[in-house]
Amino acid sequence: MKKTKLAIFTGSDLRSFGGGEKYIVELCKRLKAFDITVFSYEDDKSARLSKSEIKALLKAEIKFFRSFTIPILKERIPFSFSGLKILSNLDAFDSIYVTDPSVPTIFMMLMYLKMKRTRTKMIFGIHDPGFLRIRPQKSNLSRRMLLYLYRPIQKAILFKIPNMHVINTFDLRLLKELGYKGKIYYIPNFLYYNVNYIRVKQNKKEFMVLFGGRLSVYHKGIDLLIKVIQEVIKANKNIRFHIFGSGKDGQELVEALSDKYPSNVKYLGFISSGQIEDEYLNASLYIMTSRTEAFPLAVLEAQAHGLPVIAFDIKGPHDIIKKDFQGKLIEPFKIEDFVEAILYYYKLWEAGKISKNHKRQIINYIFNNYSAKKIIPKLEKMFMS
């Protein structure tokens, strides 16, 4: 039986190996009926893995290409020999899945496919938390004005894509409200774990709170995380925090926090998957202080290991934390309420209520809703041309 030829265009350098990049790696492992080629632009500054390391992880062919970044807008365009060569071969694929929100790149793809009159199916995967929003990072007035004027152009081009894949209900509603007329697939992220191999432990010796991810100040709320931790330590010096992850502009802040509170805060850096498993095993609570998310894999992973989660009530966590036993959603961005929630879980731990049974209840719920066995068939159906 001939396999469907699928091209996947990443939204960032696959070697940066954040949540979105892990999603593509794990997706490729599970799409057995597809002949997959992954196209990733090169950004050496963000790379945390080498090309050989990412190729060893990825069960698919990978091709890197160079892109030119448009000043001020920060949009990428593949004006390079490698980029144009890739675009000129798009009609060789049955389906194309694009997670790169760069409008010039998408425009060039659409124009080429239209010119070739191909039947290739193009799908845009909305994994960017700032989809169709002015990017929330700090910027000067001229850049904000330019982005404001650019947004209608962005929408007009993106809405020419005939298929959209959304991973949260917020973006599903947004597309409908904005009048998108194409096909919308609502398929959330999936778990990478086998439930039979999940270890469960009740740590009775210490109450350890875990935080992990790319250390971006605005996106991951590292500044908020530091405020939360400082206030918790003031209230209760028995609570321990472990932080893993690296990169971006928040790493120095986390390192400074660890130096200031060596008895309460341990910064682990970028750690292996085996080390992460051990951290999940010994933790009693997971926290996320992000300002923006699409559908956080970190929350799914923590819940897959039985950890209750505290996060701000933003899109992404809002769709995952549905039951009281799963954790708490905090009104954005109330530090005091977040601190109180951590102290509440400390009291539960002290009373022995963050038990193995509590953790297994979370594990069962999250696997029933987000296992690969449940989600992958929906994605396979979407990718079929």
If you count DSSP H runs as helices and E runs as strands, how many of each does the chain have, helices first? 15, 15
Q: Is the pLDDT of residue 165 over 80?
A: yes
Cα 27 from chain centroid (whole Å):
13
What is the arithmetic mean of pLDDT over 77-91?
83
Q: Is the pLDDT of residue 92 over 80?
A: yes
Torsions phi, psi of 165, nearest 5?
-115, 120
Q: Using 50, 70 and 90 to split pLDDT, how confident is the model at 80?
A: confident
pLDDT digits (tens, 9 = 90+) for 173-229: 999 999 999 999 999 999 999 999 999 999 999 999 999 988 999 999 999 999 999
Q: In the chain, pLDDT over 90 holds for what percent of residues?
A: 69
For the stretch 253-259, contacts whose Cβ atoms lie closer than 8 Å and that sit 24 or more positions apart, written own/partner, are 253/215, 253/217, 253/222, 253/223, 253/226, 254/215, 254/222, 254/225, 254/226, 257/226, 257/229, 257/230
DSSP letter (8 states) at residue 124: E
Return the minimum-mean-pLDDT range out of 18-22, 216-220, 372-376. 18-22
Angle at CA of residue 368, ends 367 and 373, nearest 5°: 75
* Interaxial angle between packed helices 19-30 and 372-383, expressed in degrees from 0 to 180 and rounded to the nearest 10: 80
Q: Is the pLDDT of residue 138 over 70?
A: no
For the stretch 145-151, contacts whose Cβ atoms lie closer than 8 Å and that sit 24 or more positions apart, written own/partner, are 146/72, 146/73, 147/73, 150/73
Mean pLDDT of the chain: 91
CB 131 within 8 A of CB 164: no
What is the arithmetic mean of pLDDT over 330-358?
97
Torsions phi, psi of 75, nearest 5?
-90, 145
Q: What number of other Cβ atoms are within 10 A of residue 160's Cβ?
A: 15
pLDDT of residue 143: 64
pLDDT of residue 172: 96
CB 62 within 8 A of CB 40: yes
Which of 32-36, 42-46, 155-159, 207-211 has the highest average model confidence (pLDDT)? 207-211
Q: Is the pLDDT of residue 59 over 70?
A: yes
Q: Is the pLDDT of residue 87 over 70?
A: yes
- First-to-last alpha carbon distance for the chain, in angstroms, is 15
What is the arithmetic mean of pLDDT over 234-258?
93
Length of the chain: 385
pLDDT of residue 200: 95
DSSP letter (8 states) at residue 256: H
